[in-house]
Structure 1
Amino acid sequence: MLIRCKRALLPVMAIIWGTGSLAQTYPDKPVTLIVPASAGGVVDALARAYGDEFRKLTGQPMVVVNKPGASAMVGTQMAARSAPDGYTLLMTQATSILNGPLMTKKMPYDARRDLAFITQVGTGNLVVAVGKDVPARNMQEFIAWAKANRGQVNYGSYGVGGTAHLVSAYLSSSRNLEMSHVPYPGEAPEIQGLAGGAVQCAIASAGALAPHLASGRVRALAVIADKRLAALPDVPTMAEAGLRDPEFRPQSWIVLMAPAGTPQNVLAFVEKTSRDIIHSTPMKARFQAYGIEPVGNSSAEFRHNFEALMPVMERLIKVSGAAGE
């Protein structure tokens, strides 16, 4: 009887020993970090800074692989289909796990099924800005002015389905402003359009707007953030400006994920290490330079925030008409 019990326990003990061994040795070779964005952008820069700190803490290099395309879905799909052994991770904007699936009928992956949630790296701080010729100093004045000029106001965005488009479309629809959308092929031309008067309103990152705010060519009315920005202490949040709809909460996340099926102890190790990295002095400097608010929450908190934001994004995409574009 005792022999039978020992034999029955052998497979279980093997699993335990194997899991413990993996926890003790991971990582014992370089880790690949897939970034579904071009080299030189904000996500790429943060990924490389993260990789440097990861090497310092673990002794193993992190290889950043840029796989842009299809609104970040190419790289995200590549990560979802990678071996779930902890040696392939994904750092991406939330567009590829939130906006894309809601806008595309035939998705090549399902974030809930095919990816493991690790942590939210940071949240982009966006600013609602107007051109210098718009006679509004705050959001309420802008809404009143836009209503008085209903059908004649244009807003810019850095692409169909992006946060700038979705939030601006919701503002127009929910406040009955009848503004027209002018999409640009990126944030830089969007801001040039605002500064040049081609559009009267635009939502863009604080860092990209900074020189134009300093020159007086554009004016900041509010920030899409949970608290005021250190760089713009006199500019209220949307909630402080009287727009408390959940659609005006921050949505521009940068997140860290892994292929589904990655061992839990490896995910726990990466989560703990990542949270230490995110709150390290070198990373804080990078976040500040790019106008990103560091997060570094738990995988459970990340998943909770994802589920809470999904219905909000569904409403925004429906209002914007971006689905299927």
Structure 2
Amino acid sequence: MPLQATSMTGRRHCLALGAAAAGALLLPAARAQSYPAKPIRIVVPYPPGGATDFMARVIGEKLATRVGQTVIVDNKAGAGGIVGTDAVAKAAPDGYTVLVSLSTSMLTNQFLYEKLPYNPQRDLALVSHLAVSPVTLVVHPSVPAGTGPELMKYIAANKSKLSYGSWGNGSYAHMAGAHMSQSQNADMSHVPYKGEAAMIQDLLGGQIQLAYASALNAKPHIDAGKLKLIGVTGAKRMAILPNAPTLMEQGLKDEVYQIVGFVGMAVPAKTPKDIVDRLAREVQGIFEAPELVERIAGMGFTVSAGTPEAFAAVYKRDLPVWERLVKQSGAKLE
């Protein structure tokens, strides 16, 4: 009898373990199906009105319809995107606080700031690469160059005579301009502005000779013949400027001209993988609408919504390039 009782007890224990294991396997699928069970907050670490804010609001509106829950867009601006990004990094990892931000706060800030309150690689889980934002390289019409190689020769031949603008210290425009100057040993002067509008006004007036600028803000002046377009960054031509060759096409093969800024989505680290994947699938579905893709293209962006794994691969590829650019430019922010 004692042996029989022991055998029965062991059998029950095995059955209990089996049931627990089966339950553990079913848990992620069940959680993904029940998510979301309450409102989702999308944090945009910039003021309302910009391209990032626009994308977040489109995602919020469409996501609410797809999942049957309220989605709130919370503009938490401050310190170049740091305040809002830090708020998401420190939020509960449950999928109800989501970041939609630029590569600045998600990638490059970790190299620009000596003291950053969050570590994007440690504190954020990447969800989806939403869109990429190549930029134009434009010059004042007085500059006698029409292509990338011609501009490089002109820069090299005019050492210490030229100035390039940027929309701020540590921006891509700053770092790419510094790279051009150093690659040609040209000693160009960097003129940082508080925003792109002021930079373009000085470029139009000839106070600076060249700059990297967004297609959205540069195109009207290019079309009017007030600025000369040299080329665009990135691996592909821009839909908004289909006739403008990339700098790569023109023979500038350095990876500095290949990388582009991005708009991406992330959640706090340790958010369950099934919830991360669910969010990514919903985002991909949202950006399958042709009219939305076209509207975003008109803003100078290219939709790139995909899986968390695809986003991680791009992040890993571009990270050392951005790190090198920051070091080369000497940019440091407090």
Q: Report the counterpart of residue 304 of structure 1 in structure 2.
A: 313
Say yes or no: does 1:61 pair with 2:70. yes
Distance 1:313 1:125 in 2: 15
Say yes or no: does 1:7 pair with 2:21. no
Q: Residue 142 of structure 2: SS of its match in structure 1?
A: coil
Q: Report the counterpart of residue 258 of structure 1 in structure 2.
A: 267
Q: Which amino acid aligns with 1:187?
A: E
Matches within 5 A, 1:30-179: 30-179=39-188
- The percentage of counterpart residues that share the same residue type is 35
Q: Residue 234 of structure 1: SS of its match in structure 2?
A: coil
Q: Residue 227 of structure 1: SS of its match in structure 2?
A: coil
Q: Which amino acid aligns with 1:283?
A: L
The gaps in structure 1 that reach 5 residues or longer are: none
Q: Report the counterpart of residue 315 of structure 1 in structure 2.
A: 324
Distance 2:75 2:13 in 1: 53
**What is the RMSD computed on CA atoms of the aligned residues?**
1.5
- Per-residue deviation, residues 139-165 of structure 1 (Å, max 9, x unmatched): 122122222221010000001111111
Matches within 5 A, 1:206-221: 206-221=215-230
Distance 2:229 2:103 in 1: 25
Q: Which amino acid aligns with 1:72?
A: G
Cα pair distance change 1:172/1:6, threshold 3 Å: same
Q: Report the counterpart of residue 303 of structure 2 in structure 1.
A: 294
**Does structure 1 conserve the Cα–Cα contact (< 8 Å) formed by 2:277 and 2:307?**
no
Q: Report the counterpart of residue 198 of structure 1 in structure 2.
A: 207
Q: Residue 281 of structure 2: SS of its match in structure 1?
A: helix
* TM-score for both structures, normalised by structure 1: 0.95
- Per-residue deviation, residues 100-123 of structure 1 (Å, max 9, x unmatched): 101112221111211111110000
- Per-residue deviation, residues 163-203 of structure 1 (Å, max 9, x unmatched): 11111111111122211100010111111111111110010
Distance 1:233 1:7 in 2: 64
* TM-score for both structures, normalised by structure 2: 0.93
**Does structure 2 conserve the Cα–Cα contact (< 8 Å) formed by 1:213 and 1:220?**
yes
User: How many residues are treated as equivalent by the alignment?
Assistant: 325
**Does structure 2 conserve the Cα–Cα contact (< 8 Å) formed by 1:50 and 1:283?**
no
The gaps in structure 2 that reach 5 residues or longer are: 1-9
Q: Which amino acid aligns with 1:245?
A: D
Tell me how far 1:246 sits from its aligned partner: 0.7
Q: Report the counterpart of residue 19 of structure 1 in structure 2.
A: 28
**Does structure 2 conserve the Cα–Cα contact (< 8 Å) formed by 1:33 and 1:90?**
yes
Tell me how far 1:16 sits from its aligned partner: 4.1
Q: Residue 54 of structure 2: SS of its match in structure 1?
A: helix
Distance 1:313 1:109 in 2: 18
- Per-residue deviation, residues 37-77 of structure 1 (Å, max 9, x unmatched): 11001100111011111122222221111111122111111
Q: Which of 1 and 2 has greater Rg? A: 2
Q: Residue 71 of structure 1: SS of its match in structure 2?
A: helix
Tell me how far 1:324 sits from its aligned partner: 4.4
